[in-house]
Chain A
Amino acid sequence: DTAVSQTPKYLVTQMGNDKSIKCEQNLGHDTMYWYKQDSKKFLKIMFSYNNKELIINETVPNRFSPKSPDKAHLNLHINSLELGDSAVYFCASSKLGSHRGSYGYTFGSGTRLTVV
């Protein structure tokens, strides 16, 4: 009954590999997000996506791409992994609302990615 679930919880992989992280929400929310949390705990927005609009943080390398098969899923695909990609990646979801940012986010439990 987890509201926002991510898999896998841990991911260890070699440089240059391609990997995906899956995210699913059962809250009926219409917007999903990906955040990266680095070793200093800084939470950085990567993407915001609903069925009408994909917003990409301009600082995110194009090796990262979100893929949404339906409203309840937003997967993160990463090509050519680099050492600097090591971090915890959080998926989140919220309602969009008429007033932007007017609903709280529910976060998944995170995926700890380690690139060796």
Chain B
Amino acid sequence: QQPVQSPQAVILREGEDAVINCSSSKALYSVHWYRQKHGEAPVFLMILLKGGEQKGHDKISASFNEKKQQSSLYLTASQLSYSGTYFCGTNNAGNMLTFGGGTRLMVKP
């Protein structure tokens, strides 16, 4: 079952913040976040393994609410380089990530 991401698209000015949400109808073992720039491969950002776990990478952080089967990605003080499509990937069982439909983020000067 594919996780659901929201919003589908976001337009920001440099320095603004954004939140991208990912929710699943099934219990989650882990949640991954990736960023894909146009014409390139998805690039791994971070992984969350435990309920309530929060991780950060520079000004990008994420949380994982295992009970609600949700994860959120927080982009703080966005930079032009943050533009791209963000995907969450969920691992319900087995060894395959199922990705959400993606959130297209555009950061303007």
Q: Which of B32, B46, B96, B102 contacts A41 (CB 8 A)?
A: B102
Q: Which of B29, B36, B96, B98 contacts A99 (CB 8 A)?
A: B29
| Given contact pairs A42-B102, A104-B32, A48 touches B42 in the complex (Cβ within 8 A) | no
Q: Is A105 an interface residue (CB 8 A)?
A: yes
Query: Across the interface, do B98 and A105 meet the contact criterion of CB distance under 8 Å?
Result: no
Number of interface residues of B (CB under 8 A): 26
| Given contact pairs A48-B96, A55-B95, A100-B95, A108 touches B41 in the complex (Cβ within 8 A) | yes
Q: How far is the CA of A106 from the CA of B41 in the complex (A)?
A: 9
| A35 CB contacts on chain B under 8 angstroms | 99
Q: How far is the CA of A103 from the CA of B46 in the complex (A)?
A: 9
Q: Is A45 an interface residue (CB 8 A)?
A: yes
Number of interface residues of A (CB under 8 A): 28
Instruction: Indicate the member of B29, B46, B49, B96 with the most A CB atoms within 10 Å.
Output: B96
Q: Is B83 an interface residue (CB 8 A)?
A: no
Q: How far is the CA of A31 from the CA of B98 in the complex (A)?
A: 16
Q: How far is the CB of A58 from chain B (nearest CB, A)?
A: 12
Which B residues between 19 and 49 are near A, CB-CB below 8 angstroms? Answer: 29-30, 32, 34, 36, 40-44, 46-47, 49
Q: Which of B36, B44, B93, B96 contacts A104 (CB 8 A)?
A: B44
Q: How far is the CB of B31 from chain A (nearest CB, A)?
A: 9
Apart from A35-B99, A43-B99: 13 A-B pairs, beta carbons within 8 A: A41-B101, A41-B102, A42-B99, A42-B101, A45-B97, A45-B98, A99-B29, A100-B91, A101-B95, A101-B97, A102-B49, A105-B34, A109-B40
* A-B contact list, 9 entries, CB within 8 Å: A41-B85, A43-B87, A48-B96, A53-B95, A101-B30, A101-B47, A103-B47, A104-B46, A105-B32
- Contacts from A to B (Cβ < 8 Å): 31, 33, 35, 40-45, 48, 50, 53, 55, 57, 90, 96, 99-110
